[in-house]
Structure 1
Amino acid sequence: MNPNDLLLFAQAVEHGGFAHAARRLGVPKSTVSKRVAALEAALGARLIHRTSRSFVLTDVGRDVYEHARAALIEVEGAEAAVRRRQVEPSGTVRITASIPTVQMELAPRLPALAAAHPKLRLVVHATDRFVDIVQEGFDIAIRSHFGPLPDSGLVARRLRAEPFVLVAARDYLAARGTPVGPGDLENHSAILGALNQTSWRLRHVDGREGTVTPQPRMVADESTVILEAAAAGLGVAVLPEPFVRAAIAAGRLVRVLSDWTAGEVTTTILTPHRRGQLPAVRAVVEFLADG
């Protein structure tokens, strides 16, 4: 017996005939008739006495209908459960992101998401190591990257691209002088962001580009360390503009060569294909994208 035939039989009885059921389901009348006939053949019993003018259940048909109706109710219940979850996201969503992303972006915003969706449970994993979200069971990864991401089979949604800007402390610039062009950076101390980094590739708003080699004073591969070193007056640093925005507003740092940038960082949300279709995961992705 084909369970789908049982559901079609229940629909035919509910709507008082093949024609009405076919219109409700959006299928040809012949399809409903053939599937009910197949159900009768599979059960070895006639379920309906039907003529051109009548549609009457047999005794066996009434018994089968009670079970078919129960199955139809379960199907409708499953649909209703999905709709409820779409209206009100619920369940656990596991997110992984770098430590700076968690500190600067997720920490201020996720409480509002949790308050808006009381049935949503958020698990946030902050790490600067690479996380295989499929193997480790995460629903969402937020990645910051300088070039295109490798093809991973994950669903990618680009959030934004942000420039790297040059910053320094006022006291440092007062003591060493404010650069007026990229060449001046050759005589300035720098806080570099990688052990093998020796220079910065700069781009002007008019499209001009150039490479400068400052004097390394400190090297750190963590953004907060670089920011604090620059604020302490150790030299010029290159950092993402949103990351230094608060420090600039507070007067701890100032922009250097404001018409120049040192590349950009792209932020992308990654989700496994099937997990990304879940209402709770979609709700988190949309919330982050709207920000």
Structure 2
Amino acid sequence: MVSPSDLLLFAQAVESGGFAPAARRLNLPKSTLSKRLAALEAALGARLVQRTSRSFVLTELGREIYQHARAVQIEVESAEMAVQRRLAEPSGTVRMTASIPTMQFEFVRRLPRFAELHPKIRLVLHASDRFVDLVQEGFDVAVRSHFSPLPDSGLVQRRLRVQPIVLVAAPSYLAARGAPRCPDDLASHDGLLANEIATTWRLRNESGDEAVVAPRLRMAADESTMLLGAALAGLGIAPVPEHICRDQLESGALARVLPAWRAGDVTTTILTPHRRGQLPAVRAVIGFLIAHDS
């Protein structure tokens, strides 16, 4: 049976150009390498090297066996690197930016746990609804929610999730005004809109049916937290990303309106500059966000 260690020594001898340089590189006696190659050839039943006192030339079969030996060498090196990555505790500062709702409704609960798991990583968090220039402003990670595809910016993009935008209202509002039974009923209801100019909602159900409706404008705000607060106050019906209002729906503080319909989708994407994204501390943050996404 062929010994994997003999294959590794054979690969080292080939890459070093002979027994003498390989022996110096490995800090082994030259005679040991010669004996191990002889044992490998005996196990294979074929000569791998035509060798004299001055030359070290692979046979045709030797060249083929070297490719297999090199594959074994790569696997061994990969295993060693995997162990080193595991043992090396990530450290350093990671600067991360995300929208205000993401910070308020998601990271406030998750990132303290990350800090407990990685005491050598210092998180610097920046909450902003504007699209921060990561490279120019020195950020390592951005978590962005968007309704249309992000432009090609040269950043590494990794999609975290796609969540529906749902219509919600306070039970008190629905008790006073009645719950809509179909999209057309929304025309007689107060709407909490994300934009005072775009006063219609384009709804879609699971069957692919679409409906464009125009509720009466009660309030417009381009920030989801404000829309959520207005809905909780009973001012009207609001379109809100599902993950932002999940707690209120579960507690009964809000109720779904037309639960078979959604008012679009919001995609959450993690972005990193190419080189910064390879740092162990940055990889740890990204891995945590993906593993604990819900």
TM interval, shorter chain, is 0.7 to 0.9
Distance of 2:223 and 2:113 partners within structure 1: 28
* Distance in 2, Cα, partners of 1:232 & 1:220: 15
Aligned residues: 232
Q: Do the aligned residues in 2 keep the contact of 1:86 with 1:279 (CA within 8 Å)?
A: no
Q: Give the structure 2 partner of residue 106 of structure 1.
A: 107
2:130 alignment counterpart: 129
**For structure 2, which runs of at least 5 residues remain unmatched after alignment?**
1-7, 25-51, 55-79
Please tell me whether the aligned partners of residues 227 and 237 of structure 1 are also in contact (alpha carbons under 8 angstroms). Answer: yes
Q: 2:209 corresponds to which letter in structure 1?
A: R
Q: Distance in 2 between matches of 1:104 and 1:283?
A: 21
Deviations 1:70-89 (A, max 9, x none): xxxxxxxxx99x94686311
1:143-173 C-alpha deviation (Å, 9 max, x unpaired): 1011111000000000000000001111111
Which residue does the alignment assign to 1:29? 17
Match of 1:93 in 2: 94
Provide closer, same or farther for how the CA distance between residues 206 and 24 of structure 1 changes in structure 2, counting only shifts above 3 A: same
CA distance in structure 1 between the aligned counterparts of 2:211 and 2:91, rounded to whole angstroms:
51
The residue correspondences of 1:10-89 to structure 2 (distance < 5 A) are: 23-24=11-12, 27-29=15-17, 52=53, 83=84, 87-89=88-90
Give the secondary-structure state (helix, strand or coil) at the position aligned to 1:135. Answer: helix
Contact kept in structure 2, 1:22 and 1:29, CA below 8 Å:
no
TM-score (norm 2): 0.73
The CA deviation at 1:27 is 1.3
Structure 1 partner of 2:277: 276
Unaligned runs of 5+ in 1: 1-19, 37-50, 54-78
Residue pairs, 1:209-220, within 5 angstroms: 209-220=210-221
**Separation (CA, whole Å) in 2 of partners of 1:207 and 1:83:** 50
Identity of aligned residues (%): 59
- Deviation (angstroms), 1:234: 0.8
| Distance in 2, Cα, partners of 1:191 & 1:282 | 39
1:140 alignment partner in structure 2: 141
Equivalent pair of 1:22/1:28 in contact (CA under 8 Å): no
Alignment match, 1:236: 237
SS at match of 1:218: strand
Partner of 1:225: 226
Partners of 1:105 and 1:252 in 2: CA distance: 19
Retained in 1: the 8 A contact 2:13–2:19? no
1: CA distance, partners of 2:19 / 2:263: 65
CA contact (8 A) 1:189 1:214 kept: yes
| TM alignment of 1:148-167, pairs within 5 A | 148-167=149-168
1:32 CA drift (Å):
8.3
Given the alignment of the two structures, is residue 189 of structure 1 paired with residue 177 of structure 2, yes or no?
A: no
1:105/1:180 Cα in 2 relative to 1: closer, same or farther (>3 Å)? same
**In 2, are the aligned partners of 1:165 and 1:255 still within 8 Å (CA)?**
yes
Contact 1:164 / 1:241 at 8 angstroms: preserved in 2? Answer: yes
